[in-house]
């Protein structure tokens, strides 16, 4: 079962002939993901790694019966690529691209609201259901199948957490990177609900950051609706106030969204918060 992706995932790669797209298509295939084709406008008819390339998502989806698309298209063209996947009515779209302008994402978000598609990302590492399917850029070998759901706003920090779990022999049901951008497709809340509903998930690890209010909403949801135990880690405890730390999402706005505030909220609803990434598996196991 797991959530979002599994052995039934039939994946399209938008931007399959680009450097990143090609590299990670190989990685995903090597992991066992069922990549059924790719899209690069103007390169329709070519073949990459034994997979057909199409000019448009609609043609690709019709020809392959794909149900997920992953986007490696550069930022200036990424919003258009997401809109194309929405237009082709793909149920799940995973946008890896970072640096998409806010204005573009506001438009995408409105189009999304009127569609049946779910977007994960952008600016995210994608999804990994260990042993079944990998969509995005997470290094597959650090994960192992199990029953802990992982959800994170961060990219590499997610790997850190997954790696720490695996090192301690704790496997994962699905790992979800929701991305660090201020406007994205899927929130902590969405994923927590899915984990709560997923029979294969027993516990959840949530990796948050300073800035924004997503963690606060997640804490509220956990307090009211989650029956499964949640362990959290929040990055940016020592960040100086008012400076942007890389992520568009990771800015402390006038006292809203500090690490201390988020940690306190999580603890108030029974979530145990780790001090170091290595502490996460200890809390999960205990």
Partner 1 sequence: MNLHEYQAKSRLEAFGIPVPHGQVAGTPQEARRIAENLGGTVVVKAQVLTGGRGKAGGVKLAWTPAEAEAHAQAILGMNIKGHIVRQVLVDPASAIKQEIYLGITNDRAARKPVIICSAEGGMDIEEVNRRKPEAIIREHVDPLLGLCDFQINALASGIELPYPLWKQFRRLAQALYDCFIASDATLCEINPLAITEEGDLLALDAKMSIDDNSLFRHPDLAALRDTSAEPEAETRARAANLSYVRLDGQIGCLVNGAGLAMATMDMTSLYGEADGIGPANFLDIGGGADAETVAAALRIILTDPDVKAILLNIFGGITRADEVARGVIQAFSEFESDLPKIVRLVGTNEEEGRRLLEEAHIPNIITATTLSEAARKAVAAVKGG
User: Which parts of 218-247 interact with partner 1 (CB under 8 A)?
Assistant: 233, 235-240, 243-247
Question: Cβ closer to partner 1: 52 or 198?
Answer: 52
Task: List alpha helices for 133-213, DSSP H.
Answer: 156-167, 188-197
Question: Cβ closer to partner 1: 76 or 270?
Answer: 76
Question: Cβ closer to partner 1: 98 or 198?
Answer: 98
Coil, strand, or helix at residue 245?
A: coil
Catalytic residue list contains 141: no
Count of residues in contact with partner 1, rule CB under 8 A: 76
- Separation of alpha carbons 79 and 163, rounded Å: 32
- Minimal distance in Å, beta carbon 123 to partner 1? 8
Question: Strand 133-136 and strand 145-152: pairing?
Answer: unpaired
106 binds partner 1, rule: CB under 8 A: yes
95 binds partner 1, rule: CB under 8 A: no
φ/ψ (deg, to 5) at 14 = -85, 125
Pair of tokens at residue 96? 């890896």
φ/ψ (deg, to 5) at 46 = -75, 170
Contact string 109-128 vs partner 1 (x = CB under 8 A) = xxx-------------x---
DSSP, res 240: P
Residues 131-160 that bind partner 1 (CB under 8 A): 137-139, 142, 152-160
Question: Cβ closer to partner 1: 42 or 65?
Answer: 42
* In contact, 134 and 140? CB cutoff 8 Å: yes
- Separation of alpha carbons 162 and 221, rounded Å: 23
Looking at the chain, the number of H-run helices and the number of E-run strands are 9, 14
Which one from 24, 141, 225, 247 is the annotated catalytic residue?
247
- Separation of alpha carbons 169 and 72, rounded Å: 32
Residues 57-76 that bind partner 1 (CB under 8 A): 57-59, 75-76
From the list 26, 103, 168, 225, which residue makes contact with partner 1 (rule: CB under 8 A)?
A: 103
250 binds partner 1, rule: CB under 8 A: yes
CB atoms within 10 A of CB 240: 8
Residues 32-51 that bind partner 1 (CB under 8 A): 41-44
Pair of tokens at residue 45? 């008819």
Contact string 168-197 vs partner 1 (x = CB under 8 A) = ------------x-xx--------------
Only segment of 29-37, 60-68, 195-203, 270-278 that touches partner 1 (CB under 8 A): 270-278
Residues forming the active site? 247
């Amino acid at each position: 079962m797991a959530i979002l992706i599994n052995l039934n995932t039939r994946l399209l790669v938008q931007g399959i002939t680009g450097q990143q797209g090609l590299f990670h298509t190989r990685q995903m295939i090597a992991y066992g993901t069922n990549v059924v084709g790719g899209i690069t406008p103007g390169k329709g008819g070519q073949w990459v790694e034994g997979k057909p390339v199409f000019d448009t998502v609609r043609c690709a989806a019709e020809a392959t019966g794909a149900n997920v698309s992953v986007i490696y298209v550069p930022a200036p063209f990424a919003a258009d690529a997401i809109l194309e996947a929405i237009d082709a009515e793909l149920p799940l779209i995973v946008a890896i691209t970072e640096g998409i302008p806010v204005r573009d994402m506001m438009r995408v978000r409105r189009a999304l609201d009127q569609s049946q598609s779910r977007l994960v990302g952008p600016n995210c590492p994608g999804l990994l259901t260990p042993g079944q399917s990998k969509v995005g850029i997470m290094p597959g070998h650090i994960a192992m199948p199990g029953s802990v759901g992982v959800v994170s706003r961060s990219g590499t920090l997610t790997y850190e957490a997954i790696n720490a779990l695996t090192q301690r022999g704790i496997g994962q049901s699905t790992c979800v990177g929701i991305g660090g951008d201020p406007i994205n497709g899927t929130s902590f809340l969405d994923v927590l609900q899915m984990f709560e509903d997923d029979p294969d998930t027993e516990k959840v690890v949530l990796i948050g950051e300073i800035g924004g209010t997503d963690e606060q909403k997640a804490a509220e949801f956990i307090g009211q609706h989650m029956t499964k135990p949640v362990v959290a880690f929040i990055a940016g405890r020592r960040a100086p106030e008012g400076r942007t730390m890389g992520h568009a999402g990771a800015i402390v706005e006038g006292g809203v969204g500090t690490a201390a505030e988020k940690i306190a909220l999580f603890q108030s609803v029974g979530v145990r918060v780790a001090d170091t990434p290595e502490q996460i598996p200890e809390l999960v196991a205990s």
